């Protein structure tokens, strides 16, 4: 199956005003806003690199020529199949497969198998999987880790070690992808 990742533009994963509140910076003080935004982006990158999972909302689309059971690796902890669509002919309409026509089972801790009960004749099948978070759905523990990383970067600008904060690391441990 061919894989395509589509990043969603949903705004900030962590809002600047909330980070400023955490840093105890007055909302009307804007001199450091650009710098804080860089620290937020850096902290998010550190979390993504450590956990090996996307934070920002995205969709992965798997495409095939026919219905075949397939296994996919979970990218985020909240992966969800949004829809499965297919075309019976190249010029035909796109039809959504009812969710009663397939099942999803976990295969170990990081893999899921999609098995089809009905397999219409097709020329194209697309499976849309939603992954990641927006500001409203990001787990509080991950948000707290980002705050800790931003605080370290902001308060220790002159002497900031390139190592992820140990408390942030402990908070993120359950979200980390484990390789066997």
State pLDDT tens for residues 79-109: 999 999 999 988 889 999 999 999 999 998 8
- 98: helix, strand or coil: coil
CA angle centred on 153, ends 147 and 156, rounded to 5°: 125
> Which residues lie below 8 Å from residue 66, measured CB to CB, with a gap of 6+?
119, 121, 122, 125
Q: How far is CA 175 from CA 45, 48, 49, 149, 178, in A?
A: 14, 10, 12, 16, 9
The span from the CA of 8 to the CA of 134, in Å, is 9
CB 17 within 8 A of CB 138: no
- Asked if 145 and 74 touch (Cβ cutoff 8 Å), the reply is no
pLDDT score, position 63:
93
Task: Note the pLDDT of residue 164.
Answer: 65
Predicted confidence at residue 19, as pLDDT, reads 95
pLDDT confidence of residue 40: 94
As given in the structure block, the two tokens for residue 126 are 């697309």
Check residue 163 and give its pLDDT. Answer: 57
Helix H or strand E encompassing 80: strand 80-87
* pLDDT tens string 22-78: 999 999 999 999 999 999 999 999 999 999 998 989 999 999 998 999 899 888 888
pLDDT at res. 159: 65
- pLDDT of res. 42: 92
pLDDT of 180 reads 55
Query: Residue 112's closest CA among 150, 143, 82, 69?
Result: 69
Indicate the pLDDT class of residue 1, thresholds 50, 70 and 90. confident
φ, ψ at 37 (rounded to 5°)? -60, -40
pLDDT score, position 77:
84
Q: CA–CA separation, 68 vs 98, rounded Å?
A: 16
For the stretch 142-180, pLDDT in tens is 999 999 999 999 988 766 555 567 899 999 999 998 765
Q: Which residue matches tokens 């198998």?
A: 113
Predicted local confidence at residue 98, as pLDDT: 93
CA distance 48 to 14: 14
Alpha helix ranges (H) inside the chain: 16-22, 33-51, 140-155, 166-172
């Amino acid at each position: 199956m061919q894989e395509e990742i589509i990043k969603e533009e949903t705004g900030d994963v962590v809002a600047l005003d909330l980070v400023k509140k955490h840093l105890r910076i007055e909302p009307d003080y804007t001199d450091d806003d650009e710098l804080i935004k860089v620290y937020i982006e850096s902290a998010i990158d550190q979390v993504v690199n450590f956990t090996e999972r996307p934070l920002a909302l995205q969709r992965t689309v798997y495409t095939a020529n026919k219905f075949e059971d397939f296994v996919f690796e979970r990218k985020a902890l909240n992966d969800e199949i949004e829809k499965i669509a297919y075309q019976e002919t190249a010029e035909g309409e796109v039809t959504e497969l009812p969710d009663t026509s397939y099942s999803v089972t976990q295969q170990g801790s990081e893999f899921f198998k999609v098995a089809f009960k009905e397999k219409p004749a097709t020329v194209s099948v697309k499976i849309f999987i939603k992954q990641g978070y927006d500001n409203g759905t990001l787990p509080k523990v991950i948000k707290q880790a980002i705050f800790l990383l931003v605080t370290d970067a902001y308060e220790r600008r002159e002497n900031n070690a390139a190592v992820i904060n140990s408390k942030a690391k402990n908070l993120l441990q359950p979200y980390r992808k484990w390789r066997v």
